[in-house]
Amino acid sequence: MPKIIAAECVACGACADVCPQDAITVDDVAVIDANKCVDCGACIDECPSAAIVE
């Protein structure tokens, strides 16, 4: 499952917009709901600040 590097996250919401499972919420940083995530990697590819890693 992808992990968020909080120090790198700029809370832009791009990952949440692209997530097909609506598994990501964004406040100060993005948070991935492990119960919803299907490990598709779309968020990793979309993140402009490389704050999401496998």
Distance, in Å, from the CA atom of 45 to the CA atom of 41, rounded to the nearest integer, reads: 7
Supply the pLDDT for residue 3. 97
CATH C-level class of 3-53: alpha beta
Q: Are the CB atoms for 11 and 27 separated by under 8 Å?
A: yes
Query: Across the 54 residues of the chain, what is the mean pLDDT of every consecutive 10-residue run?
Result: 97 98 97 98 98 97
pTM of the predicted model as reported, rounded to 2 decimal places: 0.93
The residue assigned the tokens 């598994």 is 23
pLDDT at site 17 = 98
Backbone phi, psi, residue 4, to 5°:
-95, 130
What does the domain layout of the chain look like in residue ranges?
Answer: 3-53
Those residues whose C-beta lies under 8 Å from the C-beta of residue 1, and which sit 6 or more positions away, are 32, 34, 37, 39
Nearest CA to 2 out of 49, 51, 38, 52 is that of: 52
